A and B are shown apart, each in its own frame.
Chain A
C-alpha cells in the first residue's frame, strides 16, 4: 500500500497548476509514476519550472541542476527530497 501524505497531494496540485496540466486531476498522477519521458511526459522547460517551485514553496535552492534528474524522477522522490531539505 503506497504512502500518501499531504505533501504528496500538495505537490501534485502545485505541479498541475504551475505546469498548466489542463484536464488533469491530482488522482491522475501516481506517486511512483515517472514525471518525465514515458510517464507524465514533462520536458526540460517543466524541469526549470520545478526548480523554481522547490525554491519558492519549500526554500530549497537547487545549486546542481544535474541532481534534478534524480529528484524529479517521481512524486515520491520529490516528496522525500523536500522532507529532508525544506527550510519552510
Chain B
C-alpha cells in the first residue's frame, strides 16, 4: 500500500470521551472489562431501527454517520468494516434462546443480527448504499485488513471516489469474560490507569468503534492522510526493527523525522517487550504515546489509535496523559501506529498531516 488515502471525516466511540482525552480528564476503571461511553443514539438512529440493535451496531452506525457528516458525504461508494468478534451480544442472545426454549420457538431477530457483517449491512441499509460492502474478521488485524481493502478500491480503478472504513467490537456479558479463562485478562485488583507499570500477565478489555471517510483525491475537507499500512502475522523483535525502518524509508521518512509513535502497550508482561525494545532503541528520540490503559485492548482498537493519531494531526495537540516519555513536540506532522496482540498480527499504519 503506497498510494495515499485522504481522511475527510472521522468519528470514534470508546471508553473515554474526546473531550476528556484533550482536557486531561481521562477516567480509570477497577474492572478488567469495561464499557464504552454512552451516546444519545436516538439523535442518529430511528427508534424503530434502534430497538433491534446491539451496541456494536449502534456504535458503528453512529460513528459512520458522524464521519460522513464531517466529510459532507451522504452515501459513500464502498463500506468496509473490520471486526474481530462481530455482534457478540446477539450471538449470546440467540444461543441462550436455543437453550432456554429447548431448541424450539426460536425468534429470527437475534440470529439475523448476530453475524459479523451485520454492522456493515445496517450502515448500508440506513444510508441506502448499494455499493461494495465487505467485512473483515482477522482478529487483531481486522481494521488494518479493511484499510488495505479500502486502498485496493482506489487502486483498481473501479470508479471509487470515497470509502467508508472503520473498526468495531463490543463486549458481551458471557463471552467476553471467557478471556479470563486463558489468561488474556489481568486477575486480581485492577487500576486501569496503572496497568502499563504492572508486573503481571494479561491485559484489560473494552469496546468501541471508529470510522473514517477516505478519498483518493484531496478535497477541501481533507485534514490528514493515511500514507501506508502493513500487517505482519509473525515477526521477531530483530526483524521488526528492520521492517519498521524499511517501512519508513519506502514512505520517504527517516526515523528522526517521525514526530510521534502510538504504541499498543497493554501491560501484558509476556508481550510488551515488543514495544519496550522499540521504545529503548529505534524510537528513543521519538515522542511515544500509549492509550490502551485508558480504552482497553480489543481486536479493532487500532481504529481508535488511527482516529487518535489523525485527531492529534488535526488539533496539533498531544493528549498529555498518553505520553510514555517526555520529549517536547510543537507541530506533529507524521505519526506511526504500531500494534501487536499476543505477539501476533503486528501492524504499522502511517498518518501524515497535509
A positions within 8 Å CB-CB of B? 18-23, 41, 43, 45, 48-49, 52, 55-56
Contacts and interface: CB of A to CB of B under 8 A. Distances in A.
B173 interface: no
A45 B47 contact: no
B328 interface: no
A21 B143 CA distance: 33
A72 to B, nearest CB: 15
A41 B48 CA distance: 8
Contact of A20 (B52, B101, B106): B52
15 contacts: A19-B51, A20-B51, A20-B52, A22-B51, A43-B48, A45-B108, A45-B112, A48-B108, A49-B107, A49-B108, A49-B109, A52-B106, A52-B108, A56-B101, A56-B105
Nearest to B46: A41
A26 to B, nearest CB: 17
A17 to B, nearest CB: 11
Nearest to B97: A52
A45 B109 contact: yes
Interface of B: 47-48, 50-52, 101, 105-109, 112
A43 B46 CA distance: 14
A20 B51 CA distance: 5
A45 B105 CA distance: 15
Most A CB within 10 A of own CB, among B50, B105, B107, B112: B107
Contacts of B112: 45
Contact of A52 (B48, B52, B105): B105
Listed from nearest, the 4 A-B pairs whose CB atoms lie closest are A20-B51, A56-B105, A48-B108, A52-B107
A18 B109 CA distance: 10
A23 B47 contact: yes
Nearest to A20: B51
Contacts of B51: 19-22
Contacts of B47: 22-23
B304 to A, nearest CB: 28
A41 B46 CA distance: 12
Contacts of A45: 52, 108-109, 112
Contact of A18 (B50, B101, B107): B107
A52 B106 CA distance: 7
Given A22-B50, A23-B47, A41-B48, A48 B105 contact: no
A26 B321 CA distance: 49
A21 to B, nearest CB: 6
Nearest to B113: A45
Contacts of A41: 48
B346 to A, nearest CB: 41
Most B CB within 10 A of own CB, among A18, A21, A45: A45
A22 B50 CA distance: 9
A55 B105 contact: yes
Contacts of B106: 52
A67 to B, nearest CB: 18
Contacts of B101: 56
A18 B101 CA distance: 14
Contacts of B105: 52, 55-56
Nearest to A41: B48
A41 B51 CA distance: 13
A55 B105 CA distance: 7
Nearest to B48: A41
B334 to A, nearest CB: 46
Nearest to B50: A22
Given A18-B107, A45-B109, A52-B108, 10 more contacts: A19-B51, A21-B51, A22-B51, A48-B107, A49-B109, A52-B105, A52-B107, A55-B105, A56-B101, A56-B105
